[in-house]
Every structure is written in structure tokens, then in C-alpha cells.
Amino acid sequence: MSNAPLNNETVHRVSFLDKASLHIPILKLLQADGTTYENAVMPVIDKALAERIHDTCVFTRVLDERMLSAQRQGRISFYMTCTGEEASIIGSTAALDDGDVILAQYREHASLRYRGFTTEQFMNQMFSNEKDLGKGRQMPIHYGSNELNYQTISSPLATQIPQATGVAHAFKLQGKRNVAICYFGEGAASEGDFHAGLNMAAVLKSPTIFFCRNNGYAISTPTEEQFAGNGIASRGVGYGMHTIRVDGNDMLAVLAATQQARAHALEYNAPVLIEAMTYRLGAHSSSDDPSGYRSKEEEAKWEQHDPVKRFKLWMINKDWLNEADDAAQYEKYREEVLNAVKVAEKVPLPHIDGLITDVLDKPTPVLEKQLAELKQHIKKYPKSYPKSAGRI
Amino acid sequence: MAEMNMLHAINDALAIAMTADERMVVFGEDVGHFGGVFRATSGLQEKFGRDRCFNTPLTEQGIAGFANGLASNGMTAVAEIQFADYIFPAFDQIVNETAKFRYRSGNQFNVGGLTFRTPYGGGIAGGHYHSQSPEAYFTQTPGLKVVIPRNPEQAKGLLLASIRDPNPVIFFEPKRLYRASVGEVPAGDFEIEIGNADVVKTGSDITLLGWGAQMEILEKAASMAEIDGISCEIIDLRTLSPWDIETVATSVKKTGRLLINHEAPLTGGFAGEIAATIQEECFLHLESPISRVCGLDTPYPLILEKEYMPDELKTYEAIKASVNF
């Protein structure tokens, strides 16, 4: 039946709907002091899962702190932190099966760590050395790992959204019990690919979890200059998909919402939209300075909602962690990251022959000729091409 | 062998590929039960089911993004863009994603199983939004292959090869030949290798190079020139990226002259790339400047389509000018 409305209710005088017509509550399970709300319906979580989440939080905090400072020292060219958004990122990834494919935007390195990306692998990518899985072809933080089902980051925003629909659809056609999860910010949700990807997933029935990190800013642009509707969640309902808004700084709420989203996606071959309300505590990137567009007071207010601290207090309340062990873990990772930096920056850079591989499955004769000519040129002017001249 | 038109040959190729490869899916706007606005996918949904041949919502960027996702996760994805004029919303997905998937990941991920099929070109009174030839936008993007057939047999063999190529392919179909071009097509499964130009006719005085629907124009112009005693060698490039420099250069070294014909506007068209490469390869063999007979640098017109087109008469005049240089 084409174009049939959901119900046949009619009215006989003009009456508009507005953004307040749709009531969207926020799921909250964990309070600032680490205790849960009285009626909180808890996610499935045991001590081992909590420890894996906590370990990822600590590592991510340390990595972000150390690598931003390495960027400031000029050791790497670029960096992005996810400080303040750890619960959104880690809580959602922790709800997945390791076979579920992650299509991230770029601020989700904590997901990759949760899956098992090693400290050395992070460093090899950021230093673009010859051990980098991406062969030194992309800016720092554009990680990817086939082994860990984490598709390689691409800088253009929102392109991963319709791709996630396709990845999930492939799982459905192959009869596999896996989903794709797609991360993006509220700014990326303004791109056409957002509309395309969500609409296609709903219509084609692809088991996709669309996870929006609504962190308040797209570089400098605040949400009130990004959209006028009822957040991003209202759109999910418009596309006809199950939708939920959660406190993105509440690890347990994010975990619970994503666990149930995954179950729904698999049971009904249907997409789900999760809007996580959070805050980007750091700058957009190492090239950005937020003091030009937001106040210290605003940042200080959000620091009170630190998701990592809240989850730590919950674990301490459960007697699954103590302050001394927590502090020791930070210390361990500080040393590990520092040592890994020292190692990675000494690993040789990728060889020039890799310049022409992987454009297609094998280099064309034209590409081989171009490379040969380039090598001849470099031999003539070795001092001008120090990264390659010594190894031709 | 059976006689069929280009649409039937394409439909036949899709059915053969889908039978051989159960991971293959075909999708796009109106391609499902309806069989596509040109009927290229006619009967595929009935034969292979709704999971393997299906409609998508009306969103070219979505189709391309979805296709990238499918292909990155083990599927053979054949996406139809209803008209090449409407491929531009998908440009970002194709240029920034499809083309770079393998390179950017260090070969950890690829979308080699992806083929875009799209009707291109004029001659159907379609005005500028149903007639464009956007091939040069894609030949400048490393990571893509660009293939264009000239007749039903070529369409079937090249499409089967494109679908199975381990790289993403954009397969431009000359829509004015869909029903107009009829010919013998081998039955069953066969492939024509991508990357090789085809010397359609040998000759000694000038090389005429084109692709797609313009091959008919070159053949007509060559017949006219033969009457004047000019012997033309005709080459169908077939694959524009990566293109077969060797076959073209060998021919031009023999004839000493080259004429390139395409429907797309002259400036920035692929003929410019060919001309630059061939003058480099064949400089001392050339008897005259390389000639380009192309569309005008205007949007594709409607009522003055005949005037715009690089037709056989313009080509014939350019042949004579080159030979008499």
C-alpha cells in the first residue's frame, strides 16, 4: 500500500506540530557520586567487563594527555583527544560483539583500544613509521584495523554513515549475527550522508547502530547554530527507527542503551539511533583553540560531569576498584606510553616503493614509470629528499 | 551466439554474474521489480529474489555509500546510478571513499567488489541533465577504473570483467546505443580484458581514437575519408583508466597522425590527456598536430544537440585537415 498514513486520525481545523510535540527523555542510571538511581534498570555487567572498561578509560586519558603534549613538542604533527566523551565511546563499544564492525568518525580511538589495539600500534600510526598498518598514508589518529573490525578513518565527515548501512546489510545478507556501529558527531549529522544512511537503513532494514556523540560543538560551531530541531534523536523517529537519548557521560546508561539497541537490531533487522548527550572537554584538535568561542566557566561546569570519575566511583562503591590501584594504573600507562613514543619515533619511515602500492590491487605500468623517474630525480638531489634518499 | 541489443547484453551479463557469484547484489533507483528505467535489470528480482536485486531510496550519495559498505564487507556490489548526470551527489563517496579505500587503509580494507553502472551521453534529446559524459571527472581520480563499451558484445564481456575486477569500476553505458545497437553476442560466460584498447580497423594514414557511442561516428567518418583515398586506423579505447598507451602509441607511430573524438566538452576532456601523452611518446613520428573533435565548451544543449555533437561530418573535416596539414 503506497503512502498509507500510520493512523487515520483527522482534524478539522489547522493545527501544527512543533519540536516540543515529541517528548524525548534522557536515560540516566549513574549519579555523579557513583551511586545508581533508585529505579535504575542496570545493563549486563560483571567485574571483568567493568575492569576492561575502566582500563580503557585510564589508557585513553593517558594517551590523550601524553600525545597532545607530544604534538606540542613537535614530535607528531597532529592530535585529537576524546576527553569528556569516554563513556559515550567506550560504553557503546563495550556493548558489542568483537565481530561487529565499527565505523568511526575520528574521535573514537578508545573503541579501538577496547578491541585490543596495542600501544605500539597507536604509536606506529601517529609517527607514520614503516610499521604503521596504514603505511604512513594518513594523518595521525586515522587508525584502522581489519583484525579488530575497525574500518580505517577517513577525514570527510559523515561518509561512514551510509557505509555503515552497507556493512550491516552485508551481515544480514550473509546470515551473520553481527551489526555495524557508526559513530558521528551532531555536526556531521547536518551532512547529506546522514540523511541518506539513516533513511536507507530504515527502509532496507539493515542492522545498524547509529551512535551520535552530541558533544556540543562542531569545531567552534555550537549546537544552536547547527540545528533547530529537538536534537538528533527526533530525526530517528522521523526515519522510522527505534531511537533513544542517553546521558553520554553515564557509562552504565550508554552500555544499557547500546546492549538493547544491538539486541533490537539483530532481532528485527532494524537500525537504532542513539543520541548521547556529552561535552567535548578538549579542543577540536591540536590545531584548535576553544578560548575563542567558549568560556572557562562552561568548561568548568562540564568538568564536574567527568564520565571517567563517575564510573570509577561506581566501581569503588562495588568494591571492584580502589584509589591506589586506580592511581597505579595511570602510572603504568604513563610509563608505557612514554616508552612507546621513544621506540616508535626511531622506527624507519615507510620505503618510497610503497608510494604506488594499493592505489589499485597492483601498480599500473604508468605508475611504475612515474616511480622510476622519481627515484632517478631523488638520486640527483638527495639532500632535498632526506626521507627517501638514503634508501633507493 | 545470439543477436541482441545492448540492454539485453547487459541484462544477460548481470544474470550470469549473479548466478556465478552468490555474494553479488544489484541495486539502485527503480531497479527492482520494475527493472530499471531502461530495463537493464529486468527480471533479475524475479530470478534472484528481493535480497539480491532491490530498489533503494532516491539518494545517489546513499547508494554509493551503501555500496562502499557492502563491498568493504565481502559483497560484490553492482550499483546503478540512473543517469550519469545524477552521479554528482555521489561524487564525494566515489572520489574520497571508493577510490581511496584500499590506499588509505594500507590494503587492510578495499571495495574492489564494487561496480557502478551508469548510462551516459547524448543523442536522446535529453538536454543537459540526461546527456552528459562525465568520464574525465573520474579518470583524474587514482584508484578507479573507467570502462565504456561500444556494442552489445563488448558490453557483456567488459561488464562481466568489470564486476569481477578486484578494483572498483565505473562502467559508463552509452544510452543512445541501448536499443539502437544490435549485434551478435556470444552465449554464456565470457570476459573481455579491462585495460586493452581494441584496433577495430587497420589503416595507414591516420589513427582515429574514441570510445562508446562515438565509435559509430568514427566508422562513418572513416568510410567518407576512404572515398577520398585516406586510409584510417580505428581504435576503441574501451578502458579510459588505466588506458592502453602502448596500443595507441604503436598505431600513431605507424600512421603519424591522431584524431580523438569524444562527446564531452573539449576543455579538460580526456582527449587532452591522450594528446599530451601521445605527443610525448610519438613526437618524432607525428606528421600533424593531434586533432580533437569534441563537444563544445557549453552545457549539453537540447534543440541544438546536432550542432553540439562531434559528428561524422566534423570528424571527416578534421581527418582531411590533419592529412593535408
**What is the per-residue burial (b if ≥16 Cβ within 10 Å, else e) of A272-293?**
bbbbbbbbbbbbbbbeeebeee
Q: Which residue has the cell 577517513?
A: A154
- List all residues 6 or more positions away from B40 whose beta carbon is below 8 Å from its beta carbon: B7, B10, B11, B14, B31, B80, B117, B173, B178
Q: Note whether residue A111 is domain-resident.
A: yes
Does the pLDDT value for residue B49 go beyond 60? yes
Q: Where in chain B is the domain with CATH 3.40.50.970?
A: 2-185
- The average pLDDT across B170-186 equals 97
Tell me how far apart the alpha carbons of residues A236 and A271 are, in angstroms, rounded to a whole number.
9
Q: Note whether residue A13 is domain-resident.
A: no
User: For strand A217-218 and strand A221-222, is the pairing parallel, antiparallel, or unpaired?
Assistant: antiparallel
Q: pLDDT at position A2, please?
A: 66
Cβ A196–B100 below 8 Å, yes or no? no
Q: Is B74 on the interface with A (CB under 8 A)?
A: yes
State whether A295 and A365 are in the same domain: no
Q: Mutate which of B31, B88, B108, B162 to test chain A, going by most A C-beta atoms within 10 A?
A: B108
Cα end-to-end distance, chain B, whole Å? 44
The conformation of residue A138, written as its DSSP 8-state character, comes to S
In DSSP notation, A296-346 reads HHHHHHHHTT-HHHHHHHHHHHTTS--HHHHHHHHHHHHHHHHHHHHHHTT
State whether A267 and A285 are in the same domain: yes
Q: Is A196 on the interface with B (CB under 8 A)?
A: yes
Q: Note whether residue A10 is domain-resident.
A: no
Q: pLDDT at position A1, please?
A: 52
Q: Does the active-site annotation cover A280?
A: yes
Q: In three state form, how does the secondary structure of chain B look?
A: CEEEEHHHHHHHHHHHHHHHCCCEEEEECCCCCCCCCCCCCCCHHHHHCCCCEEECCCCHHHHHHHHHHHHHCCCEEEEECCCHHHCHHHHHHHHHHHHHHHHHCCCCCCCCCEEEEEEECCCCCCHHHCCCCCHHHHHCCCCCEEECCCCHHHHHHHHHHHHHCCCCEEEEEEHHHCCCCEEEECCCCCCCCCCCCEEEECCCCEEEEECCCHHHHHHHHHHHHHHCCCCEEEEECCEEECCCHHHHHHHHHHHCCEEEEEEEECCCCHHHHHHHHHHHHHHHHCCCCCEEEEECCCCCCCCCHHHHCCCHHHHHHHHHHHHCC
- List all residues 6 or more positions away from A127 whose beta carbon is below 8 Å from its beta carbon: A75, A76, A344, A345, A347
Tell me how far apart the alpha carbons of residues B159 and A98 are, in angstroms, rounded to a whole number.
37
State whether A266 and A364 are in the same domain: no
Grid coordinates standing for A206?
539493515
Grid coordinates standing for A356?
604506488
The conformation of residue A32, written as its DSSP 8-state character, comes to T
Does the reported pTM lie above 0.80?
yes
Low-confidence ranges of chain A (pLDDT < 50): none
Enumerate the residues of chain A whose CB falls inside 8 A of the CB of residue B59.
192, 195-196, 199-200
Residue in A closest to B103 by C-alpha: A358
State whether A283 and A357 are in the same domain: no
Residues A214/A279, Cβ–Cβ less than 8 Å: no
Length of chain A: 392
Residues A87/A279, Cβ–Cβ less than 8 Å: no
Residue A235, number of CB atoms within 10 A of its CB: 22
Whole-Å CA distances, A379 to A353, A356, A362, A384, A387: 14, 18, 25, 10, 12
Residue B78, number of CB atoms within 10 A of its CB: 31
Whole-Å CA distances, A114 to A94, A108, B24, B131: 7, 10, 33, 51
Q: What is the torsional sign of CA A209, A214, A219, A223?
A: positive
State whether A77 and A109 are in the same domain: yes
Q: Note whether residue A15 is domain-resident.
A: no
Tell me how far apart the alpha carbons of residues A329 and B248 are, in angstroms, rounded to a whole number.
66
Q: Does the active-site annotation cover A293?
A: yes
Cβ A173–B25 below 8 Å, yes or no? yes
B314 burial via Cβ count (<10 Å: 0-12, 13-18, 19+) = middle
Q: Note whether residue A2 is domain-resident.
A: no
State whether A97 and A242 are in the same domain: yes
Residues A289/A283, Cβ–Cβ less than 8 Å: yes
Q: Which residue has the cell 564536574?
A: A304
What 3-state DSSP class applies to A101?
A: strand
Q: Where in chain B is the domain with CATH 3.40.50.920?
A: 198-323
Q: Note whether residue A71 is domain-resident.
A: yes
Instruction: State which residues form the domain around A368.
Output: 352-389
User: For strand B2-5 and strand B182-185, is the pairing parallel, antiparallel, or unpaired?
Assistant: antiparallel
Grid coordinates standing for A163?
557505509
CB proximity under 8 Å: A 282-341 to B: none
pLDDT in tens, B142-172: 999 999 999 999 999 999 999 999 999 999 9
Q: Is A162 on the interface with B (CB under 8 A)?
A: yes
Q: Does the domain made of B198-323 have the CATH classification 3.40.50.920?
A: yes
Q: How far is B208 from chain A (nearest CA, A)?
A: 23
Number of domains in chain A: 2
Q: From B161, B167, B4, B186, select the one nearest B71 (Cα to Cα).
A: B167
The conformation of residue A166, written as its DSSP 8-state character, comes to H
State whether A326 and A381 are in the same domain: no
State whether A311 and A377 are in the same domain: no
State whether A239 and A310 are in the same domain: yes
State whether A298 and A357 are in the same domain: no
Q: Is B242 on the interface with A (CB under 8 A)?
A: yes
Q: Is A163 on the interface with B (CB under 8 A)?
A: yes
Fold category of B2-185 in CATH: Rossmann fold (3.40.50)
Q: pLDDT at position A4, please?
A: 75
pLDDT in tens, B108-121: 999 999 999 999 99
Cβ B105–A151 below 8 Å, yes or no? yes
Q: Note whether residue A14 is domain-resident.
A: no
The dihedral formed by the CA atoms of B206, B207, B213 and B214, expressed in degrees to the nearest 10? -40
Q: pLDDT at position A8, please?
A: 78
Enumerate the residues of chain A whose CB falls inside 8 A of the CB of residue B167.
360-361
What is the percentage of chain A residues whose pLDDT exceeds 70?
99
Ramachandran assignment for B230, one of left (phi > 0), alpha (psi -120 to 50 degrees), beta (any other): beta
Cα end-to-end distance, chain A, whole Å? 67
The mean pLDDT value of chain B amounts to 98
Tell me how far apart the alpha carbons of residues A205 and A198 are, in angstroms, rounded to a whole number.
10
Which residue in the set A133, A159, A366 is minimally distant from B242, CB to CB? Answer: A366
State whether A31 and A150 are in the same domain: yes
The dihedral formed by the CA atoms of A278, A282, A286 and A290, expressed in degrees to the nearest 10? 100
CB proximity under 8 Å: B 249-278 to A: none
State whether A382 and A250 are in the same domain: no
Q: Is A369 on the interface with B (CB under 8 A)?
A: no
pLDDT in tens, B59-84: 999 999 999 999 999 999 999 999 99
Q: pLDDT at position B102, please?
A: 98
Active-site choice (B8, B80, B97, B130): B130
User: For strand A242-247 and strand A180-185, is the pairing parallel, antiparallel, or unpaired?
Assistant: unpaired
Residues A226/A186, Cβ–Cβ less than 8 Å: yes
Cβ A361–B110 below 8 Å, yes or no? yes
> What's the CATH number where A203 sits?
3.40.50.970
Q: Note whether residue A224 is domain-resident.
A: no
